[in-house]
Amino acid sequence: MDGKILVCYASKYGATKEIAEKIGEVLVRAGIQVDVVPVDRARDLNPYQAVILGSAVYMGQWQKKAVKLLQDKEKSLAGRKVWLFSSGPTGTGDPVELLKGWRLPEAVKPIADRIQPRDIAVFHGFVDPDKLNFIEKQAIKTVNAPTGDFRDWGAITNWAAGIAAAVKSVTHSP
């Protein structure tokens, strides 16, 4: 492991991909080597000292590809520094409060407990009604979720800067 960080994501319409790319940019500006890839391209974790994994959340669930990566790479992830993030709630206010304290889907929690991530973040999402299919539009209407781009780039940047500081302090400690 040469100090490189993997930022991988599962994104349905591209908003979570953009969050992962922003995290990667912050890490690169901090002088850290980073690969930002979709989860289905994250096959070999050996070159990475740390992994940041994020997923879009739809109807309270992570994308299947992100869950599969957690399941398939659980042992490898447990042996390195890991950060997780979810992207999804729309509206204003604290995203975790909007989700009534939810940070991860129930199905993912046991795996996360075994991996013991350094942090689990929830970021506001982006719902573009023009990209939604009929069922998704009905679901949004049913739960009365606001549409639009609610991503808080400052919060995302600050979270990534905290990861950069944590990784660099470990890398450069005597």
Q: Are 86 and 55 in contact (CB under 8 A)?
A: yes
Of the pLDDT bands very low, low, confident and very high (cuts 50, 70, 90), residue 174 is very low
The 3-class secondary structure across 29-77, one letter per residue, is HCCCCEEEEEHHHCCCCCCEEEEEEEEEEECCEECHHHHHHHHHCHHHH
Give the model confidence (pLDDT) of 21-53 as tens digits.
999 999 999 999 999 999 999 989 999 999 999
Give the model confidence (pLDDT) of 69-116 as tens digits.
999 999 999 989 999 999 988 888 888 887 777 889 888 999 999 999
Of the pLDDT bands very low, low, confident and very high (cuts 50, 70, 90), residue 170 is low
**What is residue 1's predicted lDDT score, i.e. its pLDDT?**
42
CATH of the domain at 63: 3.40.50.360
Highest mean pLDDT among 95-99, 123-127, 141-145, 170-174: 123-127
Regarding predicted confidence, which is higher, 111 or 133?
111
Give CA–CA dist 15/126, Å, rounded: 6
- Tally of domains within the chain: 1
Q: Please tell me the pTM assigned to this model.
A: 0.90
Q: What is the domain extent for residue 152?
A: 4-171
